[in-house]
């Protein structure tokens, strides 16, 4: 079974990625700081879209009580997220540190819209940590219970 990232999350990820790419092209210290953010964030976004966010596509059907045997295929994604969560969170710390530097440089260069964007990305990372990653893991845990896969 194929698991798709909810469209709103996918669109938000794409928008953030595109905006960051634009910021890297503006030059100066702000552009250089943005390049450092992008270098850390791009591989992280790929991992998120590979295994951390697709399980969230099951939230709506599961909330309606729809549980199907083929949904158990998502367990390899949720188990991978559980095992890689410490690394994902470490990457977030590095991303947030680089975003704080970007916000600082942008503020000093009077590019306040970019400083605001950096803070928006920090909020996005915190939302992933506090809501999205736990929800993804819970999708797997819920399916284990519903499909009697407690030993998994």
Please report, in tens digits, the pLDDT of each residue of the chain (152 residues total).
889 999 999 999 999 999 999 999 999 999 999 999 999 999 999 999 999 999 999 999 999 999 999 999 999 999 999 999 999 999 999 999 999 999 999 999 999 999 999 999 999 999 999 999 999 999 999 999 999 865 44
- Whether residue 38 is contained in a domain is answered as yes
- Whether residue 151 is contained in a domain is answered as no
Cα 28–chain centre separation: 28
- Whether residue 118 is contained in a domain is answered as yes
Q: Which domain holds residue 63?
A: 7-146
Looking at residue 148, its pLDDT comes to: 85
Burial of residue 63, with CB atoms counted within 10 A of its CB: 0-12 exposed, 13-18 middle, 19 or more buried? exposed
- Whether residue 82 is contained in a domain is answered as yes
* Virtual torsion, Cα 125, 131, 132, 135, nearest 10 deg: 160
- Whether residue 27 is contained in a domain is answered as yes
**Number of domain units in the chain:** 1
- Whether residue 2 is contained in a domain is answered as no
Burial of residue 64, with CB atoms counted within 10 A of its CB: 0-12 exposed, 13-18 middle, 19 or more buried? exposed
- Tell me the pTM: 0.93
Looking at residue 149, its pLDDT comes to: 63
- Whether residue 1 is contained in a domain is answered as no
């Amino acid at each position: 079974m194929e698991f798709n990232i909810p469209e709103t999350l996918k669109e938000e990820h794409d928008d953030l990625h595109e905006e960051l790419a634009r910021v890297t092209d503006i030059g100066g210290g702000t552009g250089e700081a943005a390049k450092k953010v992008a270098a850390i964030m791009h591989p992280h976004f790929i991992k998120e879209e590979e295994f951390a966010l697709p399980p969230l596509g099951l939230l709506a059907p599961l909330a309606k009580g729809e549980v199907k045997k083929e949904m158990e295929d998502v367990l390899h994604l949720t188990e991978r997220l559980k095992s890689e969560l410490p690394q994902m969170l470490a990457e977030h710390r590095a991303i947030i540190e680089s975003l704080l530097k970007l916000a600082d440089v942008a503020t000093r260069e009077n590019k306040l819209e970019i400083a605001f964007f950096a803070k928006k990305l920090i909020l996005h990372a915190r939302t992933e940590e506090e809501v999205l990653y736990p929800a993804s893991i819970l999708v797997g845990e819920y399916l284990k219970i519903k499909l009697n896969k407690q030993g998994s």
